[in-house]
Every structure is written in structure tokens, then in C-alpha cells.
Amino acid sequence: MVPMPLLIAMALLALPFLEIWLMIVIGQQIGAGVTIAALFAASLGGALVVRHAGTRAYRDAEEAIRTGTPPAGGVLDTLMLFVGGILLAIPGFVTAAVGLVLALPFTRPALRWLFSAWAKRRVERMRANADLVTLNGYPRTRPWPNAPSDGSQVVQGRVIHDDSTEK
């Protein structure tokens, strides 16, 4: 089985070749001028989406600071808008398609649901792994042999007074 980081690196290396091949194929079908215009329109749209997402994030942060309340629940939506805008701004049809899916308002709820489910599974997996962690053979709740059992933390040591720095 191929490790996930290697798979991601291979996909990122293959992406420019896929984009160029797709540009050539689409250019042969609809013409070079229309292809270039479509890529330019996607890039311009991506720049506008990034600008909108930045303005929205700034407005939400300013509102949260002014009222003293945490930002509204649209942080994930703003992040999806921002990433979608960046992907739209990158020249290419594959990145534009993914960016469009992230930027459209009617696809974000489904993506939010998928991301929440993924994050929940990831947190559960991390908790399960954290329960198995030991330090020097001791369970993680008592990381050293002389640790108090009431849950408080005590750092054993001694204080050294350096008289040469005191005046």
C-alpha cells in the first residue's frame, strides 16, 4: 500500500501535466481563443471570490472584536470560499472545477457535512491513540514514578542562587 503523503506528492506532481493536457484537448474542441478566455474568466472569478472571502473574514473578525463574542459559525465557509477562490485563480480546468465546487453556496453544506464527519473520525482516532501513549513505561496519567495521584503536577528540582548577579 502506498503511503498517503507519497500519494499526495505524486498527485501534485501530476496535476500540471493533467491541466496542460486538458487545456490542449478543450482547446482543440472549442478553439484556443475561447479556451484562453475561459481560463482568464475563471482566474478573474477566483480573484473576486478571494477578495469577497477576505472581506467577509475581516468583517466577521471586526464584529467579534467589537462585540466581544466569538466569530459566527461561518469560519469553515469562509475557509472553503478562500481555498475555492485560490483554486479558481490558478489557471487550469481541474483546479477551476474543484475551486468552483468549494465556492458555490449550494455545495458548501454538503462539503461542511463531509468535513465534519472526517474531523470527528480523526479526533476519535487521535483520542484512541492518545490513550495508548506511555512515557518511560508509565501510563500517561502518571508520567513519572513520584507523580501525585490526585492529578496535580509537581516538578521536582532545586533552586540555585547565584550571588554574583545580585547587588
Its sign, for the CA torsion 21, 26, 31, 32, is: negative
Alpha carbons 105 and 60: distance in angstroms, whole number: 18
**pLDDT tens for each residue of 74-100:** 777 888 888 999 999 999 999 999 999
What residue spans define the domains of the chain? 4-105, 109-149
Give the pLDDT score at 151.
59
Query: Low-confidence residues of the chain, pLDDT below 50?
Result: 135-136, 142
Give the pLDDT score at 127.
75
Give the pLDDT score at 145.
56
Give the pLDDT score at 142.
46
Give the pLDDT score at 116.
81
Alpha carbons 12 and 165: distance in angstroms, whole number: 57
Give the pLDDT score at 132.
55
